[in-house]
Chain A
Amino acid sequence: MSSKERTLDLAGARRRCLFYRRRILDISQQVTALHVAPAFSCLEMVDLICHVLMRPDPQHTNPRRFLDSFIMSKGHGCLAQYVILEDLGILAKTDLDRYCTPAGQLGAHPDYGVPGIEASTGSLGHGLGIATGMAYAEKLKGSDHRTYVMLSDGEFQEGSTWEAMMMAANLKLTNLIAFMDLNDFGGLARMSEGHPAFYPVLDKARAFGWEAAEVNGHDAQAVFEAVMNRSGRQPFLLVGRTVKGKGVSFMEHVNIWHYRSPSKEEYQKALAELAEVVA
């Protein structure tokens, strides 16, 4: 799994993520878009999966399709996926403009059947099981297809996630690559306060038979290198330490932004901050 296979344009990734954050904020002004902060926390990792890790299918370039699969298991962060799918031309601009309206096809959680969405998620703890089944089916076929899955740290409170962790390791699913968005917040409280036994995380993943690494989840270079340098002998979990609401000072670490949409003033302030980042 040499990093020579693919390269990361770090400046490009930064530019894209900045653009995506602004686009997500735009959508929040059209409808009461929920879950801005959890989309911001996983954005660099989802960007990396969709733009760098997943191999485009050369047979399907317009609209684009991939040889690999991606499941956004933390469905409440799907705005991150939607804006990327829009950028890739898989979703139309009208799709996002009609987000959460009767005229559109996009809801506040991803839905199977929508272009680019491979499974319905949103109820927590389902994605890794589905991804495990997908990875197993591809292994049976003898393909080199890879299954990527984006999980929240909250999903690791679900027993079903640990059932899947065990099975994926038992089945030696080396084609399964999972990401944990470790932003330390659920809907109500900090995970480290409510579930201190969850930490340290890496030891638990390894004890369940996974290869695992932990890096800053907003550092695309570090995430990329960790994934590329995996041994490929076990399923792989990348634990990305992240900040909920990353990129907007008044949203960072403030849990109300799990649900809340910014007012007009807050929206302008957030845009200004994101503009400063690019400068």
Chain B
Amino acid sequence: MRNTFADTFYEAGKRDKRLAVVVADISPAGSIQKFREDFPDRFVNTGVSEQIMIGMCAGMALRGLQPFAYTIATFTLFRPFEFVRDDLCYQNLPVTVVGIGGGVTYSTLGGTHHAMEDVAVAAAIPNMTVIAPCDPAETRAATLWCAGQTRGPVYLRLGKAGEPDFTSKAPEPWEFGKLRYLKRGKDVCILTYGPIMKVAAGLAERFEKAGKTVSVVSVHTLKPLDRDGIADALKNHGQVVVIEEMVPRGSLAGQVKEIAWDRRARCRLDTFTLQDRFIHNYGSHQDLLAAHGLDLTSISVALGLA
């Protein structure tokens, strides 16, 4: 995802001179390095200074540029939170705040580097749009959308590197603000977003082995949420499962439950999120998800599939 973002940003930035990136001491991977070399004026490194990273983006947007703030998710969003809120959201400026490594992606770096609550925090701010693509192809589509949009600030939540492709065979394209069915079934619908799509895909296989037909949905735009799309998913399936790498408060899971209640949904509904606690475990991303009960095995057991 990180490299796809960088490649896409490079392409877009080559065409559009308004695009600039402000980073806070993160080593520019892939094409961001190339962007830095080819367009040095539009690549600013503030160093370990996240408040000015956001503040500068606001000022640049006020003078007609289309800036992206780019570093590890905890440092684009949490560290300079009030700057994101006041400078970007209150003034409603078209700045994209890119958070690399949403969730517990940085699994060996400890809780200080885990963006477990980022979606809730970002979505809580008025005017903020929240997008979390599930694979490199969605990252490309979302990045292009962010580069061209004028509606206001966006939190673009990315994974890190090595995410597989989930969407190349999807029957429909990525569309801002709409649920995206990667496949359609009748019995079970799995709603998810971000790199944990991998677990959703594995779960779909297990449901299918158990004789069910399964829909797998990328809920890539978390705000504004496609509430009607979710209501339809609840209506058209016997069972809905939400899987997300985010804490329970402010989650997609909670919103799906709200919609289910409001629309008098009759399906079975199971939700799986990160736990509402800091876990002092280290290991692979997979290990951290398992510690939160958010791995394929734990979810399968909970759903009676193992």
Docked-complex contact B65 and A129, CB < 8 angstroms: no
Docked-complex contact A164 and B60, CB < 8 angstroms: no
Assess whether B62 is interfacial by the CB under 8 Å rule.
Answer: yes
Q: Give the shortest distance, in Å, between B77 (CB) and chain A (any CB).
A: 16
Docked-complex contact B49 and A130, CB < 8 angstroms: no
Q: Give the shortest distance, in Å, between A139 (CB) and chain B (any CB).
A: 8
Docked-complex contact B91 and A133, CB < 8 angstroms: no
Write the A145-182 contact mask toward B (1 if CB under 8 angstroms, else 0): 00000000000000110011011000100000000000
Assess whether A108 is interfacial by the CB under 8 Å rule.
Answer: no
A-B residue pair count with CB separations less than 8 angstroms: 96
Q: Give the shortest distance, in Å, between A188 (CB) and chain B (any CB).
A: 20
Docked-complex contact A126 and B56, CB < 8 angstroms: no
Docked-complex contact B46 and A167, CB < 8 angstroms: yes
Chain-A contact segment, one of B81-89, B98-106, B215-223, B277-285 = B81-89
Docked-complex contact B56 and A166, CB < 8 angstroms: no
Cβ-closest chain A residue relative to B95? A133
Assembly CA distance A103 to B286 (angstroms): 56
Assess whether A112 is interfacial by the CB under 8 Å rule.
Answer: yes
Assess whether B262 is interfacial by the CB under 8 Å rule.
Answer: no
Main secondary structure of the interface of B (DSSP, over half): helix
Cβ-closest chain A residue relative to B54? A129
Docked-complex contact A123 and B62, CB < 8 angstroms: no
Q: Give the shortest distance, in Å, between B126 (CB) and chain A (any CB).
A: 13
Docked-complex contact B52 and A167, CB < 8 angstroms: yes
Docked-complex contact B91 and A140, CB < 8 angstroms: no
Write the B142-154 contact mask toward A (1 if CB under 8 angstroms, else 0): 0000000000000
Docked-complex contact B87 and A130, CB < 8 angstroms: yes
Assess whether B171 is interfacial by the CB under 8 Å rule.
Answer: no
Assembly CA distance A164 to B87 (angstroms): 14
Q: Give the shortest distance, in Å, between A118 (CB) and chain B (any CB).
A: 7
Given contacts A129-B58, A160-B52, contact A137 B83 (CB under 8 A): no
Q: Contacts of A140 on B, CB cut-off 8 Å?
A: 20, 41-42, 65
Assess whether A131 is interfacial by the CB under 8 Å rule.
Answer: yes
Given contacts A119-B91, A126-B83, A129-B56, contact A167 B62 (CB under 8 A): no
Assess whether B207 is interfacial by the CB under 8 Å rule.
Answer: no
Q: Give the shortest distance, in Å, between B144 (CB) and chain A (any CB).
A: 22
Assess whether B78 is interfacial by the CB under 8 Å rule.
Answer: no
Q: Give the shortest distance, in Å, between B80 (CB) and chain A (any CB).
A: 8
Chain B interfacial residues counted at CB < 8 A:
28
Docked-complex contact A160 and B63, CB < 8 angstroms: no
Assess whether A97 is interfacial by the CB under 8 Å rule.
Answer: no
Docked-complex contact B55 and A134, CB < 8 angstroms: no
Docked-complex contact B51 and A159, CB < 8 angstroms: yes
Assembly CA distance A112 to B67 (angstroms): 19
Write the B23-49 contact mask toward A (1 if CB under 8 angstroms, else 0): 000000000000000000110101101
Docked-complex contact A132 and B51, CB < 8 angstroms: no
Docked-complex contact B52 and A134, CB < 8 angstroms: no
Q: Which of B41, B62, B82 contacts A133 (CB 8 A)?
A: B62
Docked-complex contact B49 and A167, CB < 8 angstroms: yes
Assess whether B176 is interfacial by the CB under 8 Å rule.
Answer: no
Q: Give the shortest distance, in Å, between B229 (CB) and chain A (any CB).
A: 33
Write the A113-139 contact mask toward B (1 if CB under 8 angstroms, else 0): 000001110010110111111111110
Cβ-closest chain A residue relative to B51? A160
Assembly CA distance A136 to B58 (angstroms): 11
- 6 closest pairs, A vs B, by CB? A129-B55, A133-B59, A133-B56, A137-B63, A163-B52, A134-B59
> Can you sample 5 A-B contacts with CB below 8 Å?
A118-B62, A120-B86, A125-B51, A129-B56, A159-B51
Q: Which residues of B contact A (CB under 8 A)?
A: 20, 41-42, 44, 46-47, 49, 51-52, 54-65, 67, 82-83, 86-87, 90-91
Since A112-B90, A132-B55 are in contact, a sample of 11 more A-B pairs with Cβ atoms closer than 8 Å, ordered by chain A residue number, is A126-B86, A129-B58, A129-B87, A130-B58, A133-B56, A134-B59, A138-B63, A140-B65, A160-B83, A167-B46, A167-B52
